[in-house]
Amino acid sequence: MTRPLVLIVDDEAGILATLGGILADNGFEVATTPSGTEALDLYATRKPEIVFLDVWLPDRDGLETLQTLREFDPRATIIMISGHGTAVTAVRAIKMGAFDYLEKPLSYEQVMAAARAGLAHHTARSAGTAGVAGAMPEESGGFSVHPEPRRTTIPPLLHLERSRTPQRTLRQNTVLYGLGLHSGGRTGMVLQPLPAGSGIHFHSMPSGESIPAHVSAVGDTDYATTLGLNGSTIKTVEHLLSALHASGITNLLVKVHGEVPVLDGSAAEFCRTIEEIGVEEQGETRLEFVVDRKYEVGSGEKMLTIEPFDGFAVSYLLRYPPPIGEQFFDFELTSFAAYKQAIAPARTFGFLRDLKMMNELGLGSGGRLDNFILVGEDHVVNTELRFPDEFVRHKILDIIGDLYLLGYPLRGRVRAHLTGHRDNIAMVRKLVAENRVP
């Protein structure tokens, strides 16, 4: 008797082995792959009765793969699995035609119940139906590739200069997992290379909306920088953008559920990922925004200025009550290595006195002992500082990230006194507004 075939699609080798072992021991034939693209080819050639499909895949996300499979074969019985999804993702998957949605960690009983129910469902739907509905597309091994994200038309800016530095992207796809700092929910993020001239885009996996990394999409700036478009939002983008700005990556697609993972509260893990995956220099050189004169936002002691400078540098004066006190740091982005050493490890921070207000705003729920510096009345509560002046260095990290929402690397000197995300974004808006071609 032929054993029913189950296709397992997951980027974690441990899941492939464990889940495959459970199903094989219970009478199923098993095929596995960590790739969404390869899963499409396997489905077309082997026609499995059931597919266990992870939401987070490095080459194409699970929801996209689900949609393509269902378009090719409306009878496909697909069980979505994820350890870093949300209720919104589960609802969307079911609406798109998934048979079931399971949360990791998976139990033996949960897997077998879903497999048996899925097999019965597939058998019932297949009874009396000849062939597979739908024709096989010809692209990408039989299935069409994910379209390039919609590029936002940004009005031409004065003071854009073509530099000798090439445009850059990542060499290959990768996935990162973690918590959302403000949502507190488990989340993940897929980074995918884009061609030269594409820019940086965020893709909201729950809604499918593509949001440009541009100041025109900035919404909320309380405690973090949030992008939004047509009701979809991506929170806490500044740490990732800071690492991308410093590494010179100009073209990238970032697929995420609502909030970029906070990881350890700094940009260090993003930098490590960029180094491990590798950066690909592209054929075209990049445009840079060259500051031509002094720009200023704020008033009194709270002030942010940008002046002409042959390079990119940020100095910041921070002043809080003890135990932080007054801190000053001056940083010039001479290389990615300089950024990794002096700025990237500096973590985000907050105060005990603000926790009640942050909770009322629904923020800070993902703060943990290892990803957030918590400052009490007279001492740091939860960790050892990585630098004596870690607080001011993190402010510079945020500025480097927020200024990348200009859409171009910036050539100029930034001086900041007691400012935050709102001021950073106000400066970017000022640069855009005052430098449009008439």
Would you name the residues annotated as active-site residues? 421
Task: Report yes or no: 364 and 180 within 8 Å, Cβ to Cβ.
Answer: no
Task: Report yes or no: 46 and 5 within 8 Å, Cβ to Cβ.
Answer: yes
In 291-384, the DSSP E strands lie at: 295-299, 302-307, 312-319, 326-332, 349-351, 373-375
Question: What whole-number distance in Å separates Cα of residue 346 and Cα of residue 395?
Answer: 9
The DSSP call for residue 305 is E
- With 0-12 / 13-18 / 19 or more C-beta atoms within 10 angstroms meaning exposed / middle / buried, residue 220 is middle
Question: What whole-number distance in Å separates Cα of residue 340 and Cα of residue 334?
Answer: 11
Phi, psi of 88 (to 5 degrees): -65, -40
3-class secondary structure, 76: coil
Percent helix, strand and coil across the chain, each to the nearest 5? 30, 30, 40
The DSSP call for residue 156 is P
Task: Report yes or no: 114 and 79 within 8 Å, Cβ to Cβ.
Answer: yes
Q: How many residues does the chain have?
A: 438
Phi, psi of 196 (to 5 degrees): -55, 140
Read off the tokens for 435: 């430098």
Phi, psi of 207 (to 5 degrees): -105, -20
